[in-house]
Chains A and B, each alone.
Chain A
Amino acid sequence: MSARPNIDVSNLPTFAFGHRPLTWWCTWSLILIEGGMFVVIFATYFFLRTPVPDWPPGVAYPRPFWGTVNLVIILVSCLPNHWAKKAAESLDLRGVRVWLAVMIVFAFAATAVRFVEFGYLNCRWDQNAYGSIVWVSMGAHLLHLVTDVLDSIVLLALLIVGPVEGTRFTDASENALYWYFVVALWVPLYVIIYWVPRWM
């Protein structure tokens, strides 16, 4: 070893949770970018809404039943998500596997219900600008659901076939963080799609 003055870092840990590992910064970058995108999508909705007296213009209100079902599914999914995150952070391999699997079931259900939802919007994307923004914003959220299902499945596969590494627990924790973000997107979007036309 070198004789010059030095800082020996050989005993530092190789992974951690929260804002310490690089992964957290990547997740939050994604959240900021995608979150910014949804803010613009919402702004577009209200920009198109403002000059029009009747909203929705010339079509029926969207029917909120399946959207509400999805709201319930997505909100309840926070529980297994929370437990998966907790299990990851206490390095409980079996716990992560179980709760991540439950989480995937919920996310999958939300994705399936989303396809049903499109049938109850009572408009088409190519009918008018209202239809365009409703379909596209729902579709953008669907894309997030699908992405999350797929990468959760890959993560679960990695946790099962191993080899298990410390950073894999960080990944599981970050995956849960990202799902919270997908949940947080749906709440305002749900209100905008189903209730804003009735209230505003």
Chain B
Amino acid sequence: MNIVEIRDLVKNYQLDTTVVPALRGVSLHIEEGDFLSIVGPSGSGKTTLLNIIGCIDEATSGSVRFGGEETTSLSDRARTELRLHRIGFIFQSFNLIPVLNVVENVEFPLLLQRGVSRRMARDRAMELVEAVGLDEHTRHRPGELSGGQRQRVAIARALATRPDLVLADEPTANLDSVTGEQILNLMRDLNHTRGTTFIFSTHDPQVLTYARRVVRVRDGLMAGEE
């Protein structure tokens, strides 16, 4: 079953008077449980594609279906709800709320959801913090963690709400190669054990060794798949 179906997706950015085409007709199907990597040179449209899938940005034209539901026509409120309940995000940097400690950051999206008790949220957060190997650091604030540790927290938080899909835009870009590898391995493990669909973008040429499926983009167009 396809969790995401993209058809003829076009995204133009308006820069003053000139139109910058970021995506020029992308069609892509992503299966549930997939571990998919989007690769391509800088400026090819990777971030734009992830943002539109994640309901963070709006498409200029084309169709994006998420779990069978067309998301391009949703209101801001509906898209916020979708992000809160069904999508997890891992960003390249500035992932965490600086004033909250590790476990608080992880439970944050759960507390935004109505109907989740503090107890339940805390238990779930602790479980995930353990799963990403940070049980020693539950009370630390983001400022007291290394880059890799922060990305682990981000992964734990992205999974807290049991989303259908986790999006990660260059999650390893700010990390050294060893740590980056660990992070990708962790994501891969979680994909295996929990069955959550992961889509991430990367510049890493070694990506083929981790990803189950690699999609190449170039100049806002699909340029092949491995």
A in complex with B? no
